Amino acid sequence: MQKLSEKKILQTAEAMIDNFGMANVTLSSLAKELGTSHAALYKYFKNKKELWGALAIRWLDEILTDIFEFQPDHYDNQLELIHDWLWAFANSKRKSYIANTEMFALYTAYVDEDAVLLARHINDLITNLTTVSTLSADTAQNLITTFAWFTTPTFAPAWITEDFTGKFDSMWAFIRPSLEAII
């Protein structure tokens, strides 16, 4: 048996959510799967909300690998770089919604609806975009806000039924002149 750790708890919780659905995974069932007591989980997480929040952030960081590992070196044009970063961000969210609705639901419940975790997520995005581009933090935040339809869970059902790429291209065409003026 592996030693209990935060990583092991999160891996097991994600596997259980994938297998049984978020509504069917409790801290007691997670502890049982790990071969430990319910109380032992509190050594790593102070409550259920903290555990699910940590799992949601971990999953979100994994699905956004394309932007957190974004390589700007081969770009000569800042507009092209920003476009591709925004597309990678939007498309990662869309793909994750389609591929794993249970984990997307967890993310929605524990990150998108938690002011502290949501602020952390948005700050991570702003930091990443300002690191790979020449944008200021304010401009990066404005861009992320402008593209909220493509990344906010509230709109996720429409990502499948509507022309996602067409809407993205239309929004990009709309904001491009403003970006050209400030870059």
Rg of the chain taking only CA atoms, in angstroms: 19
pLDDT number for residue 74: 92
pLDDT number for residue 42: 94
d(CA 9, CA 44): 9
pLDDT number for residue 4: 93
pTM of the model: 0.89
d(CA 157, CA 16): 24
CB-based burial label for 142 (10 Å; 0-12, 13-18, 19+) = middle
d(CA 114, CA 1): 35
> What domains can be seen in the chain, in order of their start residue?
6-45 (1.10.10.60), 56-182 (1.10.357.10)
Which among 42, 125, 133 has a CA at the least distance from the CA of 81?
A: 133
Tokens representing 135 are 């944008």
Distance of alpha carbon 129 from its chain centroid, rounded? 14
pLDDT number for residue 112: 86
CB-based burial label for 58 (10 Å; 0-12, 13-18, 19+) = middle
Give me the residues of the chain with pLDDT under 50, please.
1
pLDDT number for residue 113: 85
d(CA 18, CA 26): 13
